[in-house]
Amino acid sequence: MHEQINEGSMVFVADGSDGIGSVREIRHGLPELLVYIENAGDFVVPMSAVKAVHSGKVVLDFDHLDLRLRNAIRHARDSEDPTYTSPSSEDE
């Protein structure tokens, strides 16, 4: 499965959910990835925690992640402004 993972692949915790980060590095000698999680930085993720890889996406198995990484994922979207509305195309 790790042969399908590329640096820059988006990382998710479920299909259809928002992305939480991206793959920074694939460590072939060690079966792990270095993953950037939004608002938290880089984390090492063992390949055993990768649930699926398809369409340029890496889906993690949340239950196989350590507590520190789970907490980072829970807060990946905290800096987003919930009141933000993108300008309509008519405004351009």
pLDDT of residue 88: 63
- Sort 81 into a burial class: Cβ within 10 Å, 0-12 / 13-18 / 19+: exposed
Any domain includes 92: no
Any domain includes 85: no
Residue found under tokens 């299909």: 15
pLDDT of residue 92: 47
pLDDT of residue 17: 85
pLDDT of residue 12: 95
Any domain includes 48: yes
Range of the domain at 16: 9-79
Contacts of 87 (CB under 8 A, 6+ apart): none
Any domain includes 28: yes
Structural domain count of the chain: 1
pLDDT of residue 38: 87
Any domain includes 59: yes
Higher pLDDT, 80 or 56: 56
Any domain includes 87: no
Any domain includes 89: no
Any domain includes 86: no
pLDDT of residue 80: 55
Residue 39 pLDDT > 50: yes
